[in-house]
A = this chain, B = another copy of it.
């Protein structure tokens, strides 16, 4: 893949291969950390899954913890990309909100294991670092609140406190992802989120009929 012509030079350490390996390791890490938990996963297993020797893992990542963090970060970065890509086509603000939420649900329905990374991260790095998901969420907050404001100002949504609403929707989504994947099959995550979000959005819509 993308092997076209490159790497014929000899000396340079072939950045392509390195990138591929790094990614391979991260994917293996996501999978294993998510399925077995941080401390029950041996670095050797990750190396095996990525098809490299154990020592090689340590060429790419300082430590098991650093690998975990990088894996969690990759996961959240990809989620961010999904959201950005999905949302950029939505002009209508309410639709944009719904789409964003459903994209998150869709992402974790596609990669159910990655939900566990959120829990793992929190559990393992006991407050020593701000959780990746919180960091990413905070980064998106201004855009999020702007969209809400836009929807309210354009009369699409009732007028409520924007900060409180943003929080409520965030928490709802986060809670739905975490709980939904446990209580129901992760396969139904999207439906679950849609139903929950739509209740609230339905209530928010102006016009008196809170039908979704």
Contact = CB atoms under 8 A, between A and B. Distances in A.
A111 interface: no
Interface residues of A, number: 53
Interface string A99-141: 0000000000000000010011011101100110010011000
Interface string A6-26: 000000000000000000000
A174 B170 CA distance: 11
Nearest to A198: B164
Contact of A167 (B167, B196, B208, B212): B196
Given A124-B37, A160-B210, A195 B183 contact: no
How many copies of this protein are present in the complex? 4
A200 B120 CA distance: 30
Given A170-B175, A175-B172, A196 B123 contact: no
A72 to B, nearest CB: 12
Interface in A140-192: 158-161, 163-165, 167-168, 170-176, 178-180, 182-183, 192
